[in-house]
Structure 1
Amino acid sequence: MTSTPRIAILVGSTRTGRNSAGVARWVLDRAARRSDATFEVVDLADHPLPHLDEALPPRMQQYENPLAWEWSRLIDGFDGYVVVTPEYNHAPAAVLKNAMDWLYHEWADKAVGFVGYGVQGGSRAVEQLRLVAGELQLADVRTQVGLSLYDDFEEFARLAPRARHEGDLDAMLDELVAWSVALATVRERRAAVAAA
């Protein structure tokens, strides 16, 4: 890790008319005020991964698909992640889960925070993603942002978050940056052991 952690804001939906791009912009606008990390939006729509079909598990890092190598290099370059997730049928979008499933080591020993949105604030999607994060050795921070389609969007389409969500977002980013810095030492130690 460089002296300042790099944090990706993952846009977790590729649907036409999706709200996730607007939510990610809101996160970026708020995060850009900070000086303790740099933030960049990573839109899954720009990385059209097929359904996971590699012959070997991602732990092996022997990808056959060139798109997997591109995704690997991109994700590996970050120290932490903010995942913006909608909730579809009590779960995250399949495209988001698929993008996470393509990799393993690139996620490991890094921090992740969640911004969910949906009828129930995306809480059930986030709960499932926390389980996935644990298996990928992503350290999920406690605080999350839950945006209601009824109360934080105008006509279910234009983001107009209630003021309290700015505090939740700031608290989540505080935790995320702190954990991203701390986990850099874990990755450095792991690399040193592997090189020995």
Structure 2
Amino acid sequence: MASSPDITALLGDWSRGDRTALNQLLSLVYAELRRAAARQLRRERPDHTLQPTALVHEVYIRLVDQRQVDWQNRAHFFGVAAQVMRRVLVDHARRHDAIKRGDGVRCVSIDEAKDAAAPNEIPILALDQALERLEQVDASLARIVELRAFGGLTIDEAAHVLAVSPSTVSRDWRTARAWLRRELGSEPHP
């Protein structure tokens, strides 16, 4: 992981219009963003068409368009990157769901069906809708879920981003997961 001052300095330079700083910044954060993307995509449906590299590139394109952001530090950058990654995945899922019902559906036998996705996997759109409801109840819990589930941050990294202790993030993460389990357990999932 690159040190915070290096990234913070590059973010400042980029905010002031230095395009070379953006290229240097990307080389420092690319591996971390790709790991977060790979972690997130492992939780997606098996036939997901988005690959980690493509997800990172889409996040990068959207971050580059963030011209008005006053980047504070590394934590701020990765926090925004987690939000952008969530938006990219939700947009991708919405496009996927917009395909005509039944288009490309493959019939499977009972034997094949038993190997289908585990029932505890949560569709991205259901998770996004639940996160929006959680945000209305407790925005800080929703932010922790976003950082952990979409950004792939560890407890310590999320604590750094949120400027709170790791024990606070750990406690809030348990609370948020319990809330989401209860909330998503009451919804029918495809």
TM-score range normalised by the length of the shorter chain: under 0.3
Higher normalized strand content (fraction of residues): 1
Q: TM-score, normalised by structure 2?
A: 0.28
Higher normalized helix content (fraction of residues): 2
